């Protein structure tokens, strides 16, 4: 279950989290993480769309 306090992060909270991430991972690793996250989301969307198409083909 998602903690309710995570849903209410304000602007300054997000900035503090970003600065901590910058210190932990460095400026070179953050774009790599973001790129990997974007690719993962894209693959997930493609996979979920493919399953929807397969389900529609089976119904017909």
Helices (H) and strands (E) in the chain, counts: 2, 0
| Residue 57 located in a structural domain | yes
| Residue 59 located in a structural domain | yes
Give residue-wise pLDDT tens across range 3-58: 566 667 788 888 898 889 888 888 888 889 889 989 999 999 888 887 655 555 65
| Residue 44 located in a structural domain | yes
| Residue 48 located in a structural domain | yes
| Total tally of structural domains belonging to the chain | 1
Rounded CA-CA distance 50/46 in Å is 6
Domain of residue 55 covers: 28-60
Rounded CA-CA distance 24/18 in Å is 10
| Residue 49 located in a structural domain | yes
Q: What is the pTM of this model?
A: 0.50
Tokens of 26: 């460095």
| Residue 43 located in a structural domain | yes
């Amino acid at each position: 279950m998602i903690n309710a306090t995570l849903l209410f992060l304000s602007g300054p909270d997000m900035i503090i989290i970003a600065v901590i991430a910058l210190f932990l991972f460095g400026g070179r690793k953050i774009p790599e993480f973001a790129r990997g996250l974007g690719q993962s989301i894209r693959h997930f969307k493609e996979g979920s769309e493919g399953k929807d198409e397969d389900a529609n083909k089976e119904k017909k």
